Amino acid sequence: MLLMVFTVSAQSFDTTGIPRSSLSDSLRVVNINSPVAVKKAFPVGMLLIPATLITYGITSVGNKELKSINKEIREEIWEEQPHKLIHIDNYLQWAPAAAVYGLNALGIKGEHNLRDRTIIYGLSTAIMGTTVYATKSFSKQWRPDESDRSSFPSGHTATAFAAAEFLRKEYWKVSPWYGVAGYAVAATTGYLRMYNNKHWLSDVVAGAGIGILSTDLAYYLYPTVKRLFVKEKKGATMAAPFYQQGVVGLSLVHSF
């Protein structure tokens, strides 16, 4: 009987008197080799370029010198060389984002899986669309063709640069040229907005900054959003509001 009691005690406790199950749990907690959740520091450096672009755009609203630059560029593009309108910018703005899914369909894997990158792009679109809509409503700047007072900033350009940064972020490890191509398409979209007499240079510059920053913020915020709202199981769904060209809606992302 004494031998049996001693055997059970030896199996349940170590020499310190701590139950083995408790000791094992403690060791798993303090194991230096186990992953530890560390709060990600805010990448302040990512603000430099978009903040510069946005600041230029905002400053131009009330600065005579920058306004004169807007008018000079409009004269060179529109008045000195009359031309027909090209509406490809309505579709070109989405091209870099479409490329992300196209490349993945071809077997070229990006940084995230389908669900994660779709939610990230949804976050980016929500941030960008809300910012553009609020700024247009507040600034009430006339377009060059005087069709309405929603010139500042350029929504097409913001959409294009948000998509270009999305493409760059997803595929920069595969090849930096994907990002270069995406930004070339975004820059073309911005130029066409001026070419079609719909925006001033400052509108385009500010739109580019908003688009880049929106995607960068989406990538920074996504780990937190995923932890709070996305469950690691089949049928995960996430909703994100969006605004584009006067249309307010809700985008739904569902993984099967």
Q: What is the pLDDT at residue 34?
A: 42
pTM, entire model? 0.77
Cα separation, 9 vs 147, whole angstroms: 86
Closest CA to 44 of 220, 248, 195: 220
Coil, strand, or helix at residue 210? helix
What length does the chain have?
Answer: 256
Amino acid letter, residue 75: E
Q: Spell out the per-residue pLDDT of the chain, length 256, in tens.
A: 333 333 334 444 344 444 444 434 443 443 444 444 445 677 788 889 999 999 999 999 999 999 999 999 999 998 878 889 999 999 999 999 999 999 999 999 999 999 999 999 999 999 999 999 999 999 999 999 999 999 999 999 999 999 999 999 999 999 999 999 999 999 999 999 999 999 999 999 999 999 999 999 999 999 999 888 777 655 555 545 555 555 445 555 555 5
Q: What is the pLDDT at residue 66?
A: 96
Amino acid letter, residue 164: A
Domain spans, the chain: 47-254
Q: What is the pLDDT at residue 244?
A: 53
Amino acid letter, residue 165: E
- State the Cα angle at 73 between 72 and 78, rounded to 5°: 105
Helix (H) or strand (E) holding 119: helix 114-139
Cα separation, 142 vs 63, whole angstroms: 15
Closest CA to 156 of 210, 100, 112: 210
- State the Cα angle at 96 between 94 and 99, rounded to 5°: 110
CATH of 47-254, one of 1.20.144, 1.10.1330, 1.10.10, 3.30.70: 1.20.144
